[in-house]
Amino acid sequence: MVVREKILDTVVSCFKRHGAKGLDTPAFELKDMLTEKSEENFGLMYDLKDQGGELLSLRYDLTVPFARYLAMNKLKKMKRYQVGKVWRRESPAIVQGRYREFCQCDFDIAGQFDPMIPDAECLKIICEILSGLQLGDFLIKVNDRRIVDGMFAVCGVPESKFRTICASMDKLDKMSWKDVRHEMVVKKGLAPEVADRIGDYVQCHGGISLLEEMFQDPRLSQSKQALEGLRDLKLLFEYLTLFGIAEKISFDLSLARGLDYYTGVIYEAVLLKPAAQAGVESLNVGSVAAGGRYDDLVATFDPKGYKVPCVGLSIGVERIFYIVEQKMKTLGEKVRTSETQVFVATPQKNFLRERLKIIAELWDAGIKAEMLYKENPKLLTQLHYCEDMGIPLVVIIGEQEQKEGTLKLRSVASREEVAIKRENLVAEIQKQLSLS
Amino acid sequence: MVVREKILDTVVSCFKRHGAKGLDTPAFELKDMLTEKSEENFGLMYDLKDQGGELLSLRYDLTVPFARYLAMNKLKKMKRYQVGKVWRRESPAIVQGRYREFCQCDFDIAGQFDPMIPDAECLKIICEILSGLQLGDFLIKVNDRRIVDGMFAVCGVPESKFRTICASMDKLDKMSWKDVRHEMVVKKGLAPEVADRIGDYVQCHGGISLLEEMFQDPRLSQSKQALEGLRDLKLLFEYLTLFGIAEKISFDLSLARGLDYYTGVIYEAVLLKPAAQAGVESLNVGSVAAGGRYDDLVATFDPKGYKVPCVGLSIGVERIFYIVEQKMKTLGEKVRTSETQVFVATPQKNFLRERLKIIAELWDAGIKAEMLYKENPKLLTQLHYCEDMGIPLVVIIGEQEQKEGTLKLRSVASREEVAIKRENLVAEIQKQLSLS
């Protein structure tokens, strides 16, 4: 939980740095609304039992509820972030950092703006967060739905098969091309030569030069749609260069993104495995951040079909949490589970009342303090507790101190003790804490 | 959301100040497990549809899942806090600050300790949080389940009716004694003279002197159970005096707390209406914090019935949020929805690329910055945006500045502008921000 809080803190401060306001939407939505939006995810949803009233389901992402919120409130632009739980009925493979209930952190920019400026900011945000979390080297794969569809068209995929072939292609990060091709041909009835043409493209990834190459590609340049996508990506790369992050971005023709609602640029961040570092090698956590442009989703919730173009991203905090945890295990790091700064102890009996007075003073001064909930605890038990919990300072009150109007202040690490005046308690502790 | 975050921040920092670690448990639990624990709340639960697998329900509080967690992990002590959503199938009366989905903030101390020390800390925490939030004067009503049961017994309530009469008594904060008495006698078949005996007690509230009086009460002192409760409350008041909060606490014989699982001390904090302040008068939000001791709940989840005594509290953040919002409306305060510190503007065309470079520098330095997502926005539009959003500083880049290698820094409030060197951008802004 402490690690988790730190991660969320990095993510949320970045969202705020980019001017986003926080938003919270309910955990359940109308079942029909969710199912309409994503047929592929249909089976993954948790429905609520019919107990009278509307049929409800638990949200499986934060994007659809956000689009519904925009339409319902007739908002034409908004930059918002949201941190919340989502639920999917998957067999949990906890080992891989996937759960049935998990936390999502989303940032989205809604509104009609000049091309690629908000899109570039989304990629900048992903870079800032992944750098800030110090997860090691990473790469953001970028593509465009229009390039994917254009590619399918020029390769000869029948339009009715676009979405299902796209879903197969989306598995390329987990399966080899050979297996994906097999699925396309055998399961989905695609002509082998069509699949092979797709196969040529999905091997391609690179930077701006690949973009230029695709502009010249005799087949792909036949598609007006693909050319639009390529033109936008070129502009995007220009902005990313100004942001100083172009070297982190790879134009990747194999990137498809499973969700139906994307209409333009799509992206997915992956961690590059540190070859040198043993123990972390076995991690195969997939993407740690992803997103894209979805210009038509809001209109589907608006009775008049009013369009609000959107682009956004989602940070895979559960996977990041898993990676950080594994790293810490490998490095043998231990995290404190509480933040307690001072422990109030006594070596003698009958000092409960004095301890209660002292600890109340500390709390009232905003100092994080604990004591044992026993009338007469042993001193050793109290000092062990401090060591176990990593509490740095101990205030000790005993007969001697009470007589003299003093207190002892003990450093747990050095075991040094100094006497301080009773009335200077808070000031002395604040001094000690600011030094450490 | 901004107000909400501030409230949650006050609450969570207080929990941490008292040494609690954060915990997160799933949103749904086994349906049977939840229904067994609280028959009264049975109808309030959201059940998930049977889609194969276990029958699940959404949690309606954080206490039952915490107890389940302790038992499952065989934990014998723990001091934890949890902030999370809970769901109840109530007709939402949003006006009163009650919803079907709401956020709860819980703090609990589990473990076998010396009497009343953790209990006193829970009351101290409620005081710290309510003082910290500056909600105005408040009072914490305290009673003990054993005193309630003892009172019922000596008044002549048949034991089989204890829980249902207790539930009626719990309505005393919303209903008059006359109406509660009517419910007890007519709906629940209690003898009128028994109800009248209860009526004598529920009028009583006060401090330590009332406690002493009840020790002497000829009827109540017949109950061994009640005497145990009174003895514990006496010790509790002693500790609360040491904590300096005894004057905030009222021993109140009308306090019952609806939940079945309480076994000892129970408490509920209410705001005292500020008679002077108009506009806030109409608020009747009920309790803003509550809790108590539940020593037997964990054992019900343990196959061997191992007992882990617990005491805890829950902060009613939704109601507090509602109160703070109302207060701000009355006082005409406006809250910024984003935290943006600097806006990057231009008075001329064709400065998008320069603006992108500048804003990336600011973001990389951790400065919260925004710009308009337009290639060539009007200066007035940009300055209006800053005023609307309450952004204090503007960096301006134009032809003149570019020629000179400078930038203009404009204060939105004073409309003053100063020229700074381009290379000092980040340093100058940090200086300005630290001054304001």
pLDDT digits (tens, 9 = 90+) for A140-179: 999 999 999 999 999 999 999 998 999 899 888 888 999 9
Residues of A in contact with B56 (CB under 8 A): 46
pLDDT tens-digit readout, B207-235 = 899 999 999 999 999 999 999 999 999 99
Residues of A in contact with B355 (CB under 8 A): none
Q: Are the Cβ atoms of A22 and B16 closer than 8 angstroms?
A: no
Q: Are B341 and A18 in contact (CB under 8 A)?
A: no
Token pair, residue B276, equals 């002077």
Question: In the block, which residue shows the tokens 């040529």?
Answer: A200
Token pair, residue A275, equals 């070859």
Q: Are the Cβ atoms of B2 and A21 closer than 8 angstroms?
A: yes
Flag whether pLDDT at A215 surpasses 60.
yes
Whether complex ipTM tops 0.85: no
Q: Are the Cβ atoms of B87 and A242 closer than 8 angstroms?
A: no
Q: Are the Cβ atoms of A21 and B338 closer than 8 angstroms?
A: yes
Q: Is A81 annotated for ligand binding?
A: no
CA–CA separation, A239 and A236 (whole Å):
5
pLDDT tens-digit readout, B311-365 = 999 998 988 988 888 888 888 877 788 889 999 999 999 999 999 999 999 999 9
CA distance A9 to chain B (A): 13
pLDDT tens-digit readout, B25-43 = 777 666 666 666 555 555 5
Average per-residue pLDDT for chain B: 88
CA–CA separation, B345 and B412 (whole Å):
12
CA–CA separation, B109 and A186 (whole Å):
59
CA distance A130 to chain B (A): 13
Flag whether pLDDT at A191 surpasses 90.
yes
CA–CA separation, A40 and A167 (whole Å):
9
Token pair, residue B389, equals 């959003």
Domains, chain A, ranges and CATH? 1-331 (3.30.930.10), 342-435 (3.40.50.800)
Flag whether pLDDT at B382 surpasses 60.
yes
Least Cα distance to B170 among B191, B192, B141 occurs for B141
Q: Is B123 annotated for ligand binding?
A: no
Scanning every residue of chain A, which has its alpha carbon at the shortest distance from the alpha carbon of B10? A366
CA distance B369 to chain A (A): 6
Counted across chains A and B, CB pairs separated by less than 8 A come out at: 162
Q: Are the Cβ atoms of B17 and A111 closer than 8 angstroms?
A: no
Q: Are the Cβ atoms of A19 and B373 closer than 8 angstroms?
A: no
pLDDT tens-digit readout, A329-355 = 888 877 788 889 999 999 999 999 999
CA–CA separation, B213 and A404 (whole Å):
40
Q: Are A148 and A167 in contact (CB under 8 A)?
A: no
CA–CA separation, B391 and B385 (whole Å):
8
> Which of A5, A18, A29, A49 should one mutate to test binding to chain B, selecting the residue with the greatest count of B CBs within 10 A?
A49
Nearest to B243 among A128, A360, A373 (CB): A360
CA distance A189 to chain B (A): 31
Q: Are the Cβ atoms of B17 and A363 closer than 8 angstroms?
A: yes
Scanning every residue of chain B, which has its alpha carbon at the shortest distance from the alpha carbon of A340? B19
Q: Are the Cβ atoms of B51 and A50 closer than 8 angstroms?
A: no
